[in-house]
Structure 1
């Protein structure tokens, strides 16, 4: 028998023949293939079966084997089976799209690898791999030590006279995105109104669409929402929950003043409602520290979510959700039904990282690095793209929120920048209702900050042509 008598070799030879043959062409007979390759009939049949499994050929009993004609899949039957969606699920935003290595990537929603505590994460995985976390099932609400850490972190911001949270108030969840869906389901429910800042985090818009809540947009800017507008929205809608990001909001970078936080919390209390506080940017302060509204609440009105996925590692999807009273019971029941529990390995890794002395050192370095990048991008835009208007420079977070002239075609600007190798995010993706202007979101935590001047120059040139 020859060297090309194995099923894999015969199949490879036949694929070359098939590539040059028209659809529907008949393959040589089994007898011919046996003689050609010096193989047994069983070996030839194995080769033909492998090609058939790959969809390359089709066998017709009693007739022969033929090159399969390519034809489009017909999924039309699913239209009737699925029916009309109750809620349109928005497409994933530019922030999650990958970019070529040579592009100036100003669109990402995550810090680049150089800004992560990679050494701490690798060491934590090594240590945890030697523990029982690899085989044990963790408690439904989370590892007690991690619950205690989340509670202590919020307690450190709690003013005197306010009842601090307890570790038992914490539910460990698989990232803030799952926490938002859980909170919206447990506290609001499908078809019911939910107040939401506009613009706001695209993931909250997605979670609201998935749950089927009725979103009531509340206009918000660099200083946060107008507390009177929040009050009116509660009164007019009858909503019992308000989703907001008081510390370094995405995309605006807003940091609520203590006065605003107090007024919003008073409004929430007056309406017997919840504030669902998303503190995903907690670790990204630069010239200011985060100000959790939950630290001022001891009546169970604030449901607080803090994620570690962006500051520790995207691979460690762990977050803490803090709630009190019956609300916590509903949230825990929903989280348990959704995922039963969060990986004990990931919880142990997260706990290991954030309890290392080097974690605080890393956060200090991160603070300095983010400020340097932010300032470089701001200066580059002011020099090379004066048509990009920054309402203010954020004191924390990962991105700039900027407005373009009303007369430009935003879609065209985005596409021309992309063609020139600069990826930016369209601000329209961050509005739960119609956009109120031509906005873009520019991330300064992505790779290659040295290219910020070139990116800004490209944006400026595209705007000049658009004008």
Structure 2
């Protein structure tokens, strides 16, 4: 009999005796119980731990183990914490879905990363093995990041290396940027619909969120101007290239107007540049950062999306005092990203494999997007307002009476993961939507996933 089974057997035997004891009765010591049950001290300790977990006894170090009375609550009371913690900031339901990829048997129609077969895994393994043997991978880099990696990223944004702060992924970059650029209680303006992780980052920073509608050309500049006037917000969050979830690309004239509006209002634009390397028919436009000379744009980029979800390396690019404050914030938090990860990122980005990977990825993602579009087109109830030319997602409109929360739960039960459209809106959604993703699922999985979604829908 294994130790776990034996300890459970002893716990069950003791439980029968404990139920007849009065509260406060002291149980025999471990040595005595070991002799009684002919079991090791470790087995007896495991049995007592199980009884403690059941709420039948309590251990008092140095004194022994005592019976808890039947009137004593066997469950801990955490009610005091709610008062001590104050109001809830972060939407737990939205947070539980962000990054969730379900079980292996579920079809990943809402997973914002690349499938295993689309990642350059073998090349990353070779780089990792080489870097792990080098002292550089185990040394200490400056808190802002390795000089080589910062120079590489700065070049793409026409920035100086000192403007670049390496961070452990784009999500943490958003948290740092929002927390540093605005004070708790202030307002941040976001395009709507938007990335749920940005909503969570703003909530975590204690910010109020004002939503401005967006269309196929990006955020509505006329409404953005009105919202900045109304709220006096100093931070605007945008995804100018292949926005999540719609795939929209900000038009050139709106890009110019957004920059002019930020300059006139003395505001920051946080540019979430997560999809820069995920263009399909067209490359992403130049970062907003490259058209800004006065430090109004703070850009955030990541390698977790175009390379591998496990490569948690990203960057914040910011000029002036804002950049200095962001770097100070990073030092206060964790003193920097793992040198090993930074070395892997630098080796990969500076290799010829990076260009070959992007070319393969463009072809593969184009095929998968088209396969998902074809699957969706078989059902008249599923409408795609805008065909994305990059990114990883389709934004799909449903019939007007569909409860997307209930639908996403039912789809989950049916073995298919879809993005609940309500999570992409700050306020009430104007219509029912779901986000379907083509980065992780294969074409056969997409066809089967849409078929199951149709079954749930009807």
Displacement of 1:234 = 1.6
Q: 1:6-45 counterparts in 2 under 5 A? A: 12-19=5-12, 22=16, 24=18, 34=35, 37=38, 43=40, 45=41
Matching residue within 398, 413, 417 for 1:419: 413
Q: Is the 8 A contact 2:10 2:44 kept in 1?
A: no
2:87 aligned with 1:84:
yes
Mapping 1:154-169, distance limit 5 Å: 154-155=157-158, 165-169=159-163
Answer whether contact 1:277 1:302 (CA < 8 A) is retained. yes
Q: Which runs of 4+ in 1 moved over 6 A?
A: 26-32, 59-70
Q: Matched residues in 2 for 1:84 and 1:65: separation?
A: 38
Superposed CA RMSD: 2.8
Paired with 2:447 and 2:413, the residues of 1 have a C-alpha distance of: 17
- Deviation of 1:212 after TM superposition, in Å, equals 0.8
Q: 2 CA distance for matches of 1:23 and 1:397?
A: 63
Of 335, 340, 345, 2:335 maps to 340
CA contact (8 A) 1:23 1:67 kept: no
Specify which of 197, 200, 206 is matched with residue 206 of structure 1: 200
Give the alignment of 1:74-223 within 5 angstroms. Answer: 74-85=77-88, 91-155=94-158, 165-223=159-217
Alpha-carbon distance between aligned partners in 1 of 2:312 and 2:114, rounded to the nearest angstrom: 14
- Cα separation, partners in 2 of 1:372 and 1:34, compared to 1, 3 Å: same
Preserved CA contact (<8 Å) 2:113 2:439: yes
Inter-partner Cα distance in structure 1 for 2:208 and 2:28: 63
Residue ranges of structure 2 left out of the alignment (5+ in a row): 21-26
Distance 1:184 1:250 in 2: 18
Q: Residues 198 and 433 of structure 1 are in contact (CA less than 8 Å); yes or no, is this contact kept in structure 2?
A: no
Larger deviation: 277-286 or 21-30?
21-30
C-alpha contact (below 8 Å) 2:295/2:318 kept by paired residues: yes
Q: State the Cα distance separating 1:301 from its structure 2 match.
A: 1.4
1:72 equivalent among 72, 75, 91: 75
Note the alpha carbon deviations across 1:357-393, whole angstroms, 9 max, x for none.
Answer: 011101100000000000000011101x220110011
- Which residue of 422, 445, 457 corresponds with 1:428? 422
CA change 1:87–1:14 in 2 (3 A) is closer
1:234 maps to 228
Asked whether the equivalents of residues 403 and 440 of structure 1 are also in contact (C-alpha less than 8 Å), the reply is yes
Per the TM alignment, residue 93 of structure 1 is displaced from its structure 2 partner at its CA by 4.7
TM-score between both structures, scaled by the size of structure 2: 0.88
- Unpaired runs of 5+ in structure 1? 156-164
Assess, with a 3 A threshold, how the Cα gap between structure 1 residues 64 and 167 changes in structure 2: closer, same or farther: closer
Aligned pair partner of 2:45 in 49, 56, 72: 49
Which residue number in structure 2 is paired with residue 286 of structure 1? 280
In structure 2, distance between residues paired with 1:25 and 1:460: 54
Partner of 1:357: 352
Q: Kindly tell me: are residues 201 and 87 of structure 1, through their superposed partners in 2, closer, same or farther at Cα, counting changes over 3 Å?
A: closer
* SS of residue in 2 equivalent to 1:52: helix
Question: Quick check: 2:10–2:37 contact (8 Å CA) kept in 1?
Answer: no
- Does structure 2 retain, via aligned residues, the 8 Å contact 1:104–1:448? no
Q: What secondary structure does 1:96 align onto? A: coil
- Whether contact under 8 Å (1:93, 1:429) holds in the other structure is no
* Partner SS for 1:84: coil
For 2:33 and 2:254, locate their aligned partners in 1 and report how far apart those are by CA, in whole Å. 84
Q: Distance in 1 between matches of 2:200 and 2:291?
A: 29
Q: What's 2:243 paired with?
A: 249
Change (3 A) 1:264 1:59: closer
CA drift at 1:139: 0.7
Deviation, 1:127, is 1.3
Contact 1:312 1:350 in 2 (8 A): no
Q: 1:278, 1:306 within 8 Å by CA — same for their partners in 2? A: yes
Deviations 1:414-461 (A, max 9, x none): 233223222211011111222121010001111333121222222223
Aligned twin of 1:159: none
CA contact (8 A) 1:117 1:312 kept: yes
Instruction: Please give the alpha-carbon distance, in whole angstroms, between the structure 1 residues aligned to 2:37 and 2:176.
Output: 63
3-state DSSP of counterpart to 2:149: helix
Comparing 367-376 with 110-119, greater Cα deviation is found at 110-119
Shift of 1:71: 2.5
Partner of 2:322: 327
Contact 1:104 1:421 in 2 (8 A): yes
Q: Tell me if structure 1 keeps the 8 A contact 2:247–2:388.
A: yes
